[in-house]
Amino acid sequence: MRLWPGAVGGAPASVAGGAFGDNGRVTPDMTGLVLAGGTSRRMGSDKALIDLRGRPLVVYVGELLSTVCTAVLIAPGQRRLPDLAWTQVDDRVVGQGPLAGILGGLATATTPLMAVVGVDMPEFSPPLLALLADRWRGEPALVPVAGGRLQPLHAVYATAALPQLAALFDAGERSPTRALERLGAAHHEVAEPGRWARSLNTSDDLARFRRR
C-alpha cells in the first residue's frame, strides 16, 4: 500500500507565480484544506480519485496546497479516501455541502489561518492564497473576487471565525458566499478570473486540462 503524499518529486511541477508573485513560499501560520466531499455526478466518477499526472487528483491538489501551507487537511465528506497520509476531517453535518467541510477544517486546524480550495481546482493559485494571507489584518476571511463573483472555495479563512460561521450554519445557512458576506469578509479584487478559478466538473473539462 502506498501512502500519499510523499511521491517522488514532491509538489506538481506546474506551480506558477504568474500575476501573484513568487511561489513556493510557505505561510507559517496557515493550514490548507482540500474540499473533496462532492458527489461528482457530472464527472461520472469520484473526482478526488481521478488520475492526474500520475497521482490522484486529491493528492495533486493537496501537494500544490502544501507549497504555501504548513499542514494539509482533507474534507472527504461521507467517506474516507484511501492511502492518504494527511488528516481527514469530518463535516460538521454530513451531506450539507462545502460549508460543512469548511467548518470541519476550521475545527481541526491549529493555525490562525486556513486556505480552502476545492479538489476539482487543480489550477488554483498558491501565490494568490499566500497574498491573501499576507493581507490578513484580523478579518474573518479574505476572499478573491473575479468577474464580479466571490470565490469562497479559493479563499483564506480565519480559524477564529469558527464560532460565527458555525452559528450561521446551525441556523440554516448553507451558502459559503452568503455566510462570508454576513460575516463581513474582506474582498480582494482580481482583474481577470484566469484559470485559477476554474473547476473540473465534467469529463470534457478533465480532457481539456490533460491536453495542456
Residue 45 lies in a domain: yes
Residue 2 lies in a domain: no
Residue 53 lies in a domain: yes
Give the relative orientation of helices 162-170 and 98-108 as an angle to the nearest 10 degrees. Answer: 150
| Mean pLDDT within 126-139 | 95
Separation CA 55–CA 52 (nearest Å): 5
pLDDT of residue 208: 73
The pLDDT tens digits of the residues spanning 21-43 come to 444 467 779 999 999 986 555 55
| Mean pLDDT within 99-115 | 98
Residue 164 lies in a domain: yes
pTM, entire model: 0.86
Residue 6 lies in a domain: no
What is the number of structural domains in the chain? 1
Q: How close are the terminal C-alpha atoms of the chain, in Å? A: 31
CA dist list (Å): 60 to 63, 101, 111: 5, 19, 23
pLDDT of residue 210: 67
Q: Could you tell me the CATH number of the domain that includes residue 182? A: 3.90.550.10
Residue 3 lies in a domain: no
Residue 10 lies in a domain: no
Binning pLDDT at 50, 70 and 90, where does residue 8 land? very low
Tell me the backbone φ, ψ of residue 208, rounded to 5 degrees. Answer: -65, -40
Range of the domain at 49: 25-211
Lowest pLDDT segment from 54-58, 175-179, 193-197: 193-197
pLDDT of residue 38: 64
